[in-house]
Amino acid sequence: MKQIYLAPLEGITDSIYRNTFSKYYGGVAKYFTPFLSPNSTHKFTTREFKDIDPEKNDIKTTVPQLLTNNSEHFLWAVSKIAPLGFKEINFNLGCPSGTVVAKNKGSGLLYYPEELDKILYEIFDGLDAVCAKAGANVPAISIKTRLGKNAADEFYEILDIYNKYPISELTIHPRIQSDFYREPIRIDYFDYAYEHSMAPLVFNGEIKTIDDINETFRKYDTVNAVMIGRGLIANPQLAMDYAAGKESDFNHDLFKQFHDDLLKQYIEVLSGEKPVLHRLKEFWAIWQVQFSDHEKVIKKIRKSNRIADYKSALNELF
Ligand SMILES: Cc1cc2nc3c(=O)[nH]c(=O)nc-3n(C[C@H](O)[C@H](O)[C@H](O)COP(=O)(O)O)c2cc1C
């Protein structure tokens, strides 16, 4: 059976979201955490630790993701994460954000192929020793990448580099850094990777329907997984429907239960109404596509400054 992975979305797919999603919907084989940024302090932030705390995550299906351009920091993070029992760690080589790219991290590192090669060499060279020292099994190392920073043709050299290492899975988001999340997908380059990648490929980008999923698996026969971000947030039934083999109508009751559970948990863990509403509004920026004929209420939700106003707008919607 081909598989669906939930993409990491900073500010959206935290452990609360992932656990609640799996409670009400599911159909997802792997849940990637938003990136953790190991650095010279050799400490995870509280937010980061929540995302890898085995008490708050299913270690069998959760894949912690790391963003760094330093192999020593990467290996330090492995030495902390592997002993918790995680089987895979993902390397973020795709983040397009200006602040990240300015530090030559994420898709910024793709512009420096020699540096990229060196870091991957050092990571794979040091992995066994670091895990042995930590008394942990060696996790699989997967990569999530864009095609390049300034031009898609950078990808040919980048893929040659990836092909030198035992990458467990290579997820490709076929855009370059300056495309952000808007410009059309550059499918020809995924086709190229399909012909030339040594690592098993995962497709990511703009998958929104069961037809999109089926079409991807039909076109790329040996691709065994698609990673979905916004499409699966907007329609949380998508992976479940795919597993069941048919698209179902949007279930408003189930969605309301899911929503209410999320709201309750964020009220418990975040202090103050503003942070709770901020978090919920991030979801609504994506959820709103399901409610396109309720523009006025969605506007009220997005403008609410107090939880009471937010709830009264919600009552109008449901
Ligand atoms: C708000 C937001 C936050 C994101 N955070 C991350 C992240 O932490 N790590 C990562 O690898 N990709 C991140 N991404 C990229 C997504 O994982 C995914 O590659 C992108 O949304 C394209 O897939 P989609 O069209 O299915 O949404 C983020 C995207 C968005 C829109």
- Supply the residue whose CA is at minimum distance from atom 5 of ligand 1: 9
Same domain, 106 and 21: yes
Evaluate: CB of 230 within 6 angstroms of ligand 1: yes
Q: Distance from the CA of 34 to the center of ligand 1, in angstroms?
A: 8
Same domain, 122 and 208: yes
Give the H/E segment covering residue 255. helix 252-269
- 161 with 117: CB under 8 angstroms? yes
Same domain, 150 and 286: no
Question: Which two tokens mark 249?
Answer: 């109508």
* Helix runs in 60-206, H state only: 71-81, 98-102, 113-134, 154-162, 187-196
* Helix runs in 2-103, H state only: 15-24, 46-52, 71-81, 98-102
Evaluate: CB of 144 within 6 angstroms of ligand 1: yes
For residue 221, give its domain range: 3-244
Q: Distance from the CA of 198 to the center of ligand 1, in angstroms?
A: 24
**What is the best residue among 4, 5, 6, 10 to mutate for testing ligand 1's pocket, by most ligand atoms within 8 Å of CB?**
10
pLDDT of residue 292: 85
Same domain, 295 and 176: no
Evaluate: CB of 212 within 6 angstroms of ligand 1: no
Evaluate: CB of 213 within 6 angstroms of ligand 1: no
From the list 149, 203, 200, the residue with the least C-alpha distance to 174 is 203
Give the H/E segment covering residue 176. none
- 39 with 260: CB under 8 angstroms? no
Same domain, 31 and 127: yes
**What is the best residue among 9, 31, 107, 143 to mutate for testing ligand 1's pocket, by most ligand atoms within 8 Å of CB?**
9
pLDDT of residue 1: 80
Same domain, 310 and 222: no
**Phi, psi values for residue 170, rounded to 5°:** -115, 110
Same domain, 300 and 165: no
Amino acid occupying residue 222: T
Evaluate: CB of 13 within 6 angstroms of ligand 1: no
| 231 CA closest ligand 1 atom index | 26
The packing angle between helices 295-303 and 273-287, to 10°, is 150
Q: Distance from the CA of 9 to the center of ligand 1, in angstroms?
A: 5
Q: Which of the listed residues 244, 268, 289 is the one where a domain comes to its end?
A: 244
Q: Which of the listed residues 244, 270, 299 is the one where a domain comes to its end?
A: 244
User: How many Cβ atoms sit within 10 Å of the Cβ of residue 148?
Assistant: 23
CA–CA separation, 10 and 109 (whole Å): 19
| 230 CA closest ligand 1 atom index | 27
- 93 with 143: CB under 8 angstroms? yes
CA–CA separation, 252 and 93 (whole Å): 37
Same domain, 239 and 292: no
* Helix runs in 149-251, H state only: 154-162, 187-196, 210-219, 230-234, 238-244
Same domain, 56 and 142: yes
CATH of the domain at 215: 3.20.20.70
Same domain, 72 and 119: yes
Q: Mean pLDDT in each 10-residue stretch from start to end of the chain (318 residues)?
A: 96 97 98 98 94 96 98 98 98 98 98 98 98 98 98 98 98 98 97 98 98 98 98 98 94 97 97 96 95 91 96 93
| 92 CA closest ligand 1 atom index | 11
Evaluate: CB of 106 within 6 angstroms of ligand 1: no
Number of domains in the chain: 2
* pTM (global) more than 0.85: yes
Q: Which of the listed residues 190, 219, 244 is the one where a domain comes to its end?
A: 244
Evaluate: CB of 146 within 6 angstroms of ligand 1: no
Same domain, 157 and 272: no
Evaluate: CB of 9 within 6 angstroms of ligand 1: yes
Same domain, 74 and 165: yes
CA–CA separation, 119 and 196 (whole Å): 22
Q: Which residues pair with 148 in a beta bridge?
A: 176
- Supply the residue whose CA is at minimum distance from atom 10 of ligand 1: 8
Question: Which two tokens mark 87?
Answer: 């089987």
